[in-house]
Amino acid sequence: MSIRNATIRQYIFDEPGNQSSLRSVLLFGKNTATYKFALCEALLKQQARSEQPYVDLLPHFVDALCRHVKIYPKQETRSEPRSLISACIKFNEGALGKSELLKEGAKVMPRYVFNAFHNIGGGSLDAHHSLFSDNRKLKRLDITDTLLKIIDNDDMKEAMLLENESRWRVVEEAWRLGFNPALLAFDENASFVLNSDRRAALRPVFPTLLPYQKGLCFYCRRGIKLSAVHHDENFGDVDHCIPRSVLQKIYRAGIDTRANLNGIWNLVIACQRCNRGEGGKFDQIPALQYYEQLCVRNQRFALEHAHSLRYAIFWSLNASSVDEIIEKMQEIWNLVPRTDRWRPKEMASPMIDL
């Protein structure tokens, strides 16, 4: 069954780079357990080859699960853990050997993990966008060119490993807080904390937001890397799309939009040139196309399944539905002064495979 949700389809087909399919799984795939993140890590840690035997994937798969179970034992929505999560807990406690753990993993992977990996948007990725097919008879995954190109490119592989780990932590934290993380800011450990309208340290939201932009600047489409350091050209900043100073003036005028100044609804990732370089945005209001782009991004947030961003976007805008998200954003945009709108000096050529 192909993907039924139009917004998710658009995400995949707009600038359809090799990473778009994998990102769509991480962002929009259903989460009743975190198996997909463990499998993603296992796949990315293999050598680039078209056939991946179950037996080669299995150790990486269970090791990734055990690492996360040690930090946060709840790795599924069930109140009682399934056998594999229970086995990981026992292994971490020294009450179960590695061979027994691998046996439990071997039962779960073909039955529950491989078949569900591509399920998103009320359907699944089609053959053109899929990352592998399951050859149950020969006990192996047949890897597609889409995934092989990621595994064979060190920069892409590193970026996707970082994004996968970030998404995994988002899901864990949402479950830990009982689906109550507003994600208005993060603390120094990248944990979710509730925050007021005071200016917040926003840098830790960077790895959570960047996948929605496919590793590109929100404005000029220049490539940005999660691993870049401050002096690198492809280092990115967290930016308030509608400037914080503009929102403050609206609030001070006594207009209550019930939207948080530092809310996730208004945060994007921008390259240094667009954010603060010569001719950069700074506190200028962006052109209409960027407001519209932000609306689409926030609709995608709301389509997540059991992720904290789904609830964060509703709460940070005081909205209760996808339609109301757009209504609230339009209400704010209508209050923004009709001044000259900022655009980047130049648009980068699409750099899809960063």
pLDDT at residue 308 in the model: 58
- Compute the Cα dihedral for 155, 281, 291, 289 and give only its sign: negative
The string of DSSP codes covering 270-316 is: EEHHHHHSTT--TTPPBPHHHHHHHHHHHHHHHT-SS-HHHHHHHHH
Q: Does the structure show a pLDDT above 50 at 204? A: yes
Tell whether the model's pLDDT for residue 107 goes beyond 80. Answer: yes
- Please determine, for residue 205, whether its predicted confidence score (pLDDT) is greater than 60: yes
Q: Using CA atoms, how far apart are residues 335 and 160, in angstroms rounded to an integer?
A: 38
| pTM of the entire predicted model | 0.68
Q: Does residue 257 register a pLDDT over 80?
A: no
Do the Cβ atoms of 316 and 196 come closer than 8 Å?
no
From the CB of residue 279, how many other CB atoms can be counted at a distance below 10 Å? 12
Residue 128: the pLDDT is: 83
List the end-to-end C-alpha distance of the chain, in Å, as a whole number: 30
Query: Residue 190 CA to chain centroid, in angstroms?
Result: 14
Q: How many helices (H) and strands (E) does the chain have?
A: 14, 9
Q: Are 44 and 58 in contact (CB under 8 A)?
A: no
Greater confidence (320 vs 221) lies with 221
List the structure tokens of 180.
Answer: 């109550």
Query: Which residues does 36 contact at the CB level (< 8 Å), separation at least 6?
Result: 25, 26, 29, 113, 116, 117
Q: Which residue has the higher pLDDT, 262 or 60?
A: 60
Three-state helix/strand/coil letters over 245-269: HHHHHHHHCCCCCCCCCCCHHHEEE
Strand partners, 140: 53, 135
At 131-182, the pLDDT tens digits run 999 999 999 999 999 999 999 999 889 989 988 988 888 778 767 655 433 3
Residue with tokens 């929100």: 218
Cα–Cα distance list, 133 to 129, 136, 281 (Å): 11, 9, 45
pLDDT computed for residue 277 by the predictor = 86
> DSSP 3-state helix, strand, coil percentages of the chain (rounded to 5)?
50, 10, 40
Cβ pair 131, 87 in contact under 8 A: no
Q: What is the mean pLDDT of residues 102-124?
A: 90
Identify the pLDDT of residue 198: 42
232 contacts 348 by C-beta, under 8 angstroms? no
> What Cα–Cα distance (Å) separates residue 115 from each residue in 36, 63, 138, 303, 313?
10, 21, 16, 21, 30
Identify the CA nearest to 96 among candidates 62, 119, 144, 64: 62
CA 44 – CA 135 distance, rounded (Å): 19
Instruction: Quickly state the pLDDT bin for 197 (edges 50, 70, 90).
Output: very low
Whole-number Å distance between alpha carbons of 64 and 35: 9
pLDDT in tens, 264-319: 889 999 999 999 888 999 999 999 999 999 999 998 888 775 555 677 788 778 88
